Each structure stands twice: as C-alpha cells, then as structure tokens.
C-alpha cells in the first residue's frame, strides 16, 4: 500500500496547470515519469513546438478543423518517424488527433513547458521589449532578475519583441507582473490630463 502511494506521489507533477491543455500535459507527465522518459519526451515535444513555430503551413494544417483527422494523423505519424520520436510521444500526439484535440495542441505544449520548467527548478520569466536587447542589456536584465530567484532555482528568460509598448519593458516572473512600458506611462499621463480638464 505504501509503495503504490509513493509511486503515485512521484508521478505527480510539481505544479498544477489547469484547463484542457493542463489535463493532457499532466497525464503525459505521469506516463513519462513512470517510464523514466521525462527528458526524452520533453526534447521531442520541444522539437514539435519549434517545428510548428517555424512551419506555418504545417501549423495551419494541424489546427484546421476541416481537414480529416486521419490525414492529420498520417502527416504527424510521418513527422514522428522522421524525428525518431519515442512511442510515448508519438502515441500522445495520435491520442490528441483521435480525440480531435489538435486545435488545443498549443495549450498542451504550453502546459507541458510550465510543468517541465517547475520540474527542472526553473523560474520562467517572460519579457517584452519594443526592440531586441543587445548582449550587455541582456546581461543587466539577467542580473536584475536573479534577485527574484530562490537559491537552487535557475532563471529561464523568454524574450519577445512587441513594438506596441513603444519602449521600456513588460515582464512576468512567476506570479509577479511588472509593466514599465512607455505605452502604459503615456496612457496613464493621458488619463491624468483628461481627468484634470
């Protein structure tokens, strides 16, 4: 009894991610953990995510509801063979296809990424800037953000360029949200001026 309880605990994800994507990601985490294939599956799903990000035609094909699921399954099985994906990953993608959930693949992959970041002790930080940071700015940012990370955890910084923020930066680190964008400052100033008139 205590052994099966310990197995259930070890298969439990380090964080809870909600929604449909979270449910599928948690199920995959439990199966991969049980088979000691977390790193393998993580690498394979990262490859799938990168491929979908880079190949717009494939991403559109996979998420198109008018395409027959058998056609999607054939294309994804060919991709899995080409990438030499494990049975666990290829069967998982086949399950999503069979259940007509490929339109939620982005949510599933996002939930998986969150779970694996927590598993690896990574603190994910999403940063938006109006233009790309140079290496010295990136170094300063990393040093400033390191203060938010507990000892033993590592920092994983995802950067995104968003010209609509005009300048400055918008960031999310863990459950904290920081908005130091020029666009927000302009909006606040405009609101103060219009209230004063």
The total domain count for the chain is 2
Average pLDDT over residues 29-51: 94
Domain that holds residue 44: 2-117
Q: Are 132 and 71 in a shared domain?
A: no
Q: Are 89 and 151 in a shared domain?
A: no
**Mean per-residue pLDDT of the chain:** 87
Q: Are 182 and 126 in a shared domain?
A: yes
Beta bridge partners of 161: 129
* Alpha-carbon gap, residue 113 to 105, rounded angstroms: 12
Q: Are 30 and 105 in a shared domain?
A: yes
Helix axes 56-63, 105-119, angle to 10 degrees: 110
Q: Are 156 and 107 in a shared domain?
A: no
Last residue of a domain, one of 61, 85, 117: 117
Q: What is the pLDDT of residue 117?
A: 86
Last residue of a domain, one of 117, 144, 160: 117
* pTM of the complete model: 0.68
* Alpha-carbon gap, residue 76 to 25, rounded angstroms: 18
* Conformation bin of residue 100: beta by default, left when phi > 0, alpha when psi is -120 to 50: left
* Confidence class for position 174, pLDDT limits 50, 70, 90: low
**Which residues, in sequence order, are CB contacts of 127 under 8 Å at separation 6+?**
141, 157, 158, 159, 160, 169, 170, 171
């Amino acid at each position: 009894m205590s052994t099966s309880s310990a197995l259930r605990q070890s298969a439990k994800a380090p964080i809870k991610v909600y929604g449909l994507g979270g449910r599928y990601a948690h199920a995959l985490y439990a199966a991969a953990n049980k088979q000691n294939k977390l790193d393998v599956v993580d690498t394979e799903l990262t490859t799938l995510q990168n491929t979908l990000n880079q190949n717009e035609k494939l991403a559109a094909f996979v998420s198109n509801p008018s395409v027959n699921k058998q056609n999607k399954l054939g294309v994804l099985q060919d991709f899995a063979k080409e990438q030499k994906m494990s049975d666990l990953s290829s069967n998982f993608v086949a399950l999503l296809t069979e259940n007509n959930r490929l339109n939620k693949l982005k949510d599933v992959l996002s939930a998986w990424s969150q779970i694996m970041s927590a598993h690896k002790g990574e603190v994910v930080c999403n940063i938006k800037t109006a233009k790309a940071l140079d290496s010295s700015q990136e170094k300063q940012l990393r040093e400033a953000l390191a203060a938010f990370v507990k000892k033993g955890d590592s920092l994983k910084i995802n950067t995104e360029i968003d010209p609509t923020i005009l300048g400055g930066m918008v960031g999310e680190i863990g459950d904290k949200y920081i908005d130091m964008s020029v666009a927000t400052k302009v909006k606040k100033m405009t609101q103060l001026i219009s209230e004063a008139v």
